[in-house]
């Protein structure tokens, strides 16, 4: 685990063949998401595209949701590092309102670059059979929520930061937002989220 609570994507001590299979599986899933709807990217299809057996995918990632989660972790790691140790305003050192706006901008940028993956991850979470597939238990979401809640609490100690963080992040998880991202409207979405961030942290420094 990293200090921020997200499992590290590094695989120290991993056998060379296992590392190749992992990279091939993740690359195959990413490639398929560029040309197929999320629900069409099954474990069987990923395994065939990666040139491995279906059992290899299940052994490595557990479930389809686990596979999508692993791919999300790979994509989210750079954002986590920027938040925890990068320069302000995304990293430490800026006022909480500025950091929140910068984080939401970065989050939308990540989603815009990976809209197929984000949709597939949501689809896998929604169709998972076990409670561990719920969004709130996902380590990526846990970190994002914790960071947003902390910034809100710094700006407005009296506010319900935990719930407000869920509301802000929840605004990004719906089909209307996914459609805007697919249509290249990320700048419009980012501007809207900046307005929400400003409203949530309006009492900062008061």
Q: What is the pLDDT of residues 177-193, one digit of tens each?
A: 888 888 889 999 999 99
Statement: residue 133 has pLDDT above 90: no
- Alpha-carbon distances of 159 from 86, 166, 196, rounded to whole Å: 27, 13, 15
Classified as helix, coil or strand, 84 is helix
Q: Does domain 11-62 have CATH number 1.10.10?
A: yes
Statement: residue 1 has pLDDT above 70: no
Confidence (pLDDT) at 112? 84
Token pair of 115, please?
């809209």
DSSP string, 91-119: STTS-HHHHHHHHHHHHHHHHHHTHHHHH
64-200, what's its fold? Tetracycline Repressor; domain 2 (1.10.357)
Statement: residue 3 has pLDDT above 50: no
pLDDT tier at 134, thresholds 50, 70, 90: low
What's the length of the chain? 206
Task: Determine the Cα–Cα distance for residues 177 and 144; give it in Å rounded to an integer.
Answer: 18
Domains of the chain, residue spans? 11-62, 64-200
- pLDDT, one tens digit per residue, over 73-116 is 888 888 999 999 999 999 999 999 999 999 999 999 888 877 77
């Amino acid at each position: 685990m990293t200090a921020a609570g997200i499992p590290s994507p590094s695989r120290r001590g991993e056998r060379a063949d296992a590392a190749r299979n992992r990279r091939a599986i993740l690359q195959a899933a990413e490639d398929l998401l560029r040309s197929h709807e999320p629900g069409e990217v099954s474990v069987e299809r990923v395994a065939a595209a990666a040139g491995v057996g279906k059992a290899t995918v299940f052994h490595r990632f557990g479930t389809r949701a686990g596979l999508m989660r692993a791919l999300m972790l790979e994509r989210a790691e750079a954002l986590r590092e920027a938040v925890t140790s990068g320069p302000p305003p995304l990293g430490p050192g800026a006022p909480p309102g500025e950091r929140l706006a910068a984080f939401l901008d970065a989050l939308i940028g990540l989603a815009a670059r990976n809209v197929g993956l984000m949709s597939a991850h949501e689809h896998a979470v929604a169709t998972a059979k076990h409670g561990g597939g719920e969004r709130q238990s996902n380590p990526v979401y846990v970190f994002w929520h914790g960071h947003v809640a902390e910034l809100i609490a710094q700006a407005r100690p009296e506010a319900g930061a935990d719930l407000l963080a869920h509301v802000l992040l929840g605004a990004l998880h719906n089909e209307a937002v996914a459609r805007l991202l697919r249509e290249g409207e990320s700048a419009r979405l980012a501007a809207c989220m900046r307005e929400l961030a400003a409203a949530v942290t309006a009492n900062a420094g008061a």
